């Protein structure tokens, strides 16, 4: 990338790279590390035409999140829909899950020439989680 004077690096962190949650110290530390690495790498490559940014998703409906929903459902004896709502409403003001395409759309933009002056940034796709 440096030789070509053009490149895009996109790290996928998490909202937990920006805020903390109880009982997630190792995960939060790891995701904060990605955000810090993104900033340092952006500075190191700023004059090389290489941008480095991070995407920090909130709840994205994936198998990992489904496991959390299953735990809530079993603990409370409620439906999958009620458990999903309980999980999402706890953190994400939009009360809806992101989907992988939401993250992909932001990544696609960050790879364009229109994003050439965007580097060292961390963008949330979190339905308002970090706005509170």
The pLDDT tens digits for 33-60 are 999 999 999 999 999 999 999 999 999 9
Whether residues 4 and 47 share a domain: the answer is yes
Whether residues 43 and 20 share a domain: the answer is yes
pTM, two decimal places = 0.92
Both structure tokens of 59: 């709840």
How much of the chain, in percent, has pLDDT values that exceed 70?
Answer: 100
For residue 132, being part of any structural domain is answered with no
Whether 119 contacts 52, CB under 8 Å: yes
Whether residues 4 and 43 share a domain: the answer is yes
d(CA 77, CA 30): 33
Whether residues 39 and 68 share a domain: the answer is no
User: What is the total count of domains within the chain?
Assistant: 2
| pLDDT tens across the length of the chain (132 residues) | 999 999 999 999 999 999 999 999 999 999 999 999 999 999 999 999 999 999 999 999 999 999 999 999 999 999 999 999 999 999 999 999 999 999 999 999 999 999 999 999 999 999 999 998
Whether residues 89 and 24 share a domain: the answer is no
HSE of 31, CA atoms in CB hemisphere, 13 A: 21
Residue range of the domain that includes 66: 59-97
Question: Which residues carry out catalysis?
Answer: 27
The CATH number covering residue 27 comes to 3.40.50.720
Q: What is the pLDDT of residue 132?
A: 84
Whether residues 86 and 122 share a domain: the answer is no
For residue 131, being part of any structural domain is answered with no
Whether 85 contacts 95, CB under 8 Å: yes
d(CA 83, CA 118): 38
d(CA 132, CA 109): 26
DSSP 19-86: S--TT-HHHHHHHHHHHHHHHHHHHHHGGGTEEEEEEEE--B-SHHHHHHHHHHHHHHT--HHHHHHH
């Amino acid at each position: 990338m440096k030789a070509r004077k053009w490149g895009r690096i996109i790290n996928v962190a998490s909202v937990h790279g920006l805020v903390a949650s109880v009982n997630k110290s190792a995960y939060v530390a790891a995701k904060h590390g990605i955000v810090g690495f993104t900033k340092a790498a952006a500075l190191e490559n700023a004059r090389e035409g290489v941008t480095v940014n991070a995407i920090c998703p909130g709840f994205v409906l994936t198998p990992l999140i489904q496991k959390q929903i299953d735990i809530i459902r079993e603990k409370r004896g409620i439906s999958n829909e009620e458990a999903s709502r309980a999980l999402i409403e706890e953190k994400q003001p939009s009360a809806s899950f992101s989907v992988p395409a939401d993250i992909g759309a932001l990544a696609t933009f960050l790879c364009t020439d229109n994003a050439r002056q965007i580097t060292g940034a961390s963008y949330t796709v979190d339905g308002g989680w970090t706005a509170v």
